[in-house]
Amino acid sequence: MDNNFSCQSEKTTECVDLYQPKPQPVPMMPPYPTYVQPSKRDMSLLKILTIILCVFLAVALLIGGVLFGFFRIIDLGVGGSGQGSGSLHRPAPPQSGPPFAYGSSAPWYGNAHDPSSDPMVNAVSRAYHSVVAISVTRAGAFGTQSRGSGSGVIIAHSLGENGQPTGTYIITNEHVIADATENGVTVTLTSGATYPAVIVGMDAETDVGVVWVNVVGLHLAELGTSADLMLGQTVIAIGNALGQLSGTVTSGIISATARDIDVEGRPMRLLQMDAAVNPGNSGGGLFDLNGRLVGVVNAKSMGNNVEGLGFSIPIDVARIIAEELILYGRVVGRPRIGISVVTVTQENQNLIDSDNPELRPFFYINNQLFPGVYIIDHENVVYSNRSNGTFLFGDRIVRMNNTNIREFRDIRYFLLGMSAGDEVNVTVARPGGSGYVTHRITIVLSELNEQ
């Protein structure tokens, strides 16, 4: 039998089997909800909210993990047996220092690193405020003026009749303040305060100068000694680098304790160091690790590919000259021998021979050159009553007291430690026999200013 199905109407929701009894109506499902696709704007907002939620959850999990691990480590005791008390607590701090350390080094912040334990920091703190910047106005040709700059070191107070300070003396280089106009020198402290300065005195021979400011209560440098300096010893240079960078601090080592060089045509015996110095550092201080002044910076070797060659006047020399300048305004009692000499070398023998042909028999004997310092004039010598003779033309100076003499600068440096009125035993060599015969002559040093 065929089952025929028909619907009463295309609009009816009820179909029946014509050959079966009419069934009970079946409740129909409610109509499905209509799905509406959200707009692109709503989708973007949803994505943003989702991302924010994920990031928030991730951060929360991370912080929670870190905090858990942190307190767990504290509970177990870092470096301990791993047996904790089971409670979260911070360990008691040690009696001194921070409650933590990074390897063998203390942390760099807070009170963990005590700068007072650093000898370099200590030395700079003691010396820093004793160094000043100096500005100079110089007189030029045809009424013109020029500006210059350098450095200086505060070394002493001036005292009044009542013994109270009346001002302050500052040591610098002669070439820093030379040719200054009246009222042309000013001094600037590390605080930035600026004061006019008066030139007390200058000495071109040693390149030492002293100025005075009408100010009291300034930080004085502690004077050390240059006699005890050793090769490789750490030193600190402080000065007005480039004439603009006042208070510049550099460090290095002593490279030589008695280096003979010519500074602007003047032979000088200086300390050599590799601390960086620049124009403007002249007159600044060279300090040891105790913060004591051991030298006055006065020169740098200039040239292409020249680095690490700086020079300072030893404080033992600079101090003597400064005291003379403070007391008398000039160096008094500077000794002289009263002779004129020439230095004969392998390089200049022909020149000497042409200028002083009568000297050749004294330095050239048996076809052999004898370099050294030869006397060509001795009219102004003062001889001691104990002297066994006098100088003669052509005498070669071999020794002064216990100092060997090989060139003129040796005589000059010898005299730095002497005073007018001192007696000196001079050993000379004269042609005799098949070579030279030595003689000892005793002289009395006269004062250089005496004519």
What's the confidence (pLDDT) of residue 67? 53
What's the confidence (pLDDT) of residue 244? 81
What's the confidence (pLDDT) of residue 226? 95
Q: CB atoms < 10 A from the CB of 101, how many?
A: 12
What's the confidence (pLDDT) of residue 263? 80
| Short-list 129, 320, 75, CA closest to 208 | 320
Q: Are strands 234-241 and 335-336 parallel, antiparallel or unpaired?
A: unpaired
From first to last of its 451 residues, the chain has per-residue pLDDT tens of 444 433 433 333 344 433 344 444 444 444 433 334 444 455 565 666 667 776 777 666 666 665 545 444 333 333 333 333 333 333 333 344 332 222 333 333 333 345 567 889 999 999 999 999 999 998 877 777 888 999 999 999 998 888 888 999 999 999 999 989 989 999 999 999 999 999 999 999 899 999 999 999 999 999 999 999 999 999 999 998 887 888 899 999 999 999 888 887 777 889 999 998 888 899 999 999 999 999 999 976 554 455 668 999 999 999 999 999 999 999 888 899 999 999 999 888 888 777 888 888 898 888 888 999 999 999 999 999 999 899 999 999 999 999 999 988 889 888 877 889 999 999 999 998 778 999 999 999 998 864 4
Q: Which residues contact 412 (CB under 8 A, 6 or more apart)?
A: 267
pTM for the full predicted model: 0.64
Contact 302, 343 (CB under 8 A): no
Here the tokens at position 276 are: 């960086």
Q: Which residues contact 372 (CB under 8 A, 6 or more apart)?
A: 343, 344, 363, 396, 397, 398, 405, 406, 407, 429
- The residues annotated with a catalytic role in the active site are 175, 207, 282
Helix (H, G, I), strand (E, B) or coil at 315: helix
Tell me the CATH architecture of domain 335-447: Roll (2.30)
Residues in the chain: 451
What's the confidence (pLDDT) of residue 352? 78
In order, the DSSP letters of 206-218 are: TTEEEEEES--S-
Q: CB atoms < 10 A from the CB of 171, how many?
A: 28
Q: CB atoms < 10 A from the CB of 389, how many?
A: 11
Distance between CA atoms of residues 217 and 223, nearest Å: 17
Predicted confidence (pLDDT) per residue in 212-234, tens digit? 999 999 999 999 999 999 999 99
Give strand ranges (E) for 230-283.
234-241, 245-263, 266-273
| Short-list 143, 435, 202, 414, CA closest to 328 | 202
What's the confidence (pLDDT) of residue 375? 95
| Short-list 450, 205, 181, CA closest to 325 | 205
Distance between CA atoms of residues 395 and 405, nearest Å: 13
In order, the DSSP letters of 318-378 are: HHHHHHHHHHHSS--S-EE---EEEEE-TTTHHHHHHH-GGGHHHHEETTEE--EEEEEE-
Q: Which residues contact 338 (CB under 8 A, 6 or more apart)?
A: 378, 379, 380, 381, 382, 443, 446
Q: Which amino acid is at 19?
A: Y
What's the confidence (pLDDT) of residue 428? 96
**H/E run at residue 83:** none
Contact 129, 120 (CB under 8 A): no
Helices (H), 77-170: 119-127
Contact 355, 325 (CB under 8 A): no
Report CA 124 to chain centroid distance, whole Å: 10
Per domain, the residue ranges of the chain are 39-92, 119-332, 335-447
**H/E run at residue 395:** none
What's the confidence (pLDDT) of residue 6? 39
Contact 190, 128 (CB under 8 A): yes
Helix (H, G, I), strand (E, B) or coil at 42: helix
The CATH number of 119-332 is 2.40.10.120
Contact 126, 114 (CB under 8 A): no
Contact 315, 206 (CB under 8 A): no
> Residue-wise over 326-352: b if at least 16 C-beta within 10 A, else e?
beeeebeebbbbbbebbbbeeeeeeeb
What does residue 73 show for φ and ψ, rounded to 5 degrees? Answer: -65, -45
- 145 pairs with which residues across the strands? 139
Q: Which residues contact 133 (CB under 8 A, 6 or more apart)?
A: 149, 150, 151, 152, 187, 188, 240, 243, 246, 247
